[in-house]
Every structure is written in C-alpha cells, then in structure tokens.
C-alpha cells in the first residue's frame, strides 16, 4: 500500500502485476476478484 500510495501522490503512473497460480477456472476467477478488490481504492493508470 505504501509504495503505490506514494507513487500516486508523486504523479507516477502505476500498474499492477499479479502472478496467478490458479489450477482451475474457479481459482482463476477468485484470484481475479481478489486482485480487482485490492485495486479498487487506487487510481491505476497502466494495465493489469
């Protein structure tokens, strides 16, 4: 949280990288939902 908050506060564009370890569609969907929920509070400029 600190790094992304500081980057945004200093007008640095930010993106997100998530390495999936899902072995099923259900797990992939859960990981995607988790990632999106973590991103909600930030204004992400670059791709996921």
Cβ atoms of 4 and 35 closer than 8 Å: no
CA separation for the pair 4, 30 (Å, rounded): 23
Residue showing tokens 């370890």? 21
Give the predicted TM-score (pTM) of the model. Answer: 0.76
Average pLDDT value for residue range 19-32:
97
* Residue boundaries of the structural domains of the chain: 2-39
Q: What pLDDT, on a 0 to 100 scale, did the predictor assign at position 2?
A: 95
For the chain, give percent helix, strand, coil, nearest 5.
50, 0, 50
> Nearest Cα to 5, choosing from 42, 46, 35?
42
Task: Please state the rounded mean pLDDT for residues 10-27.
Answer: 96
Question: Mean pLDDT across the chain, nearest whole number?
Answer: 95
Cα–Cα distance between 36 and 42 in angstroms, integer?
10
| pLDDT for res 1 | 86
């Amino acid at each position: 949280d600190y790094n992304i908050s500081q980057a945004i506060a200093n007008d640095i564009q930010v993106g997100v990288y998530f390495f999936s370890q899902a072995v099923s569609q259900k797990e992939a969907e859960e990981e995607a939902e988790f990632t999106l929920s973590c991103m909600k509070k930030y204004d992400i400029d670059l791709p996921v």
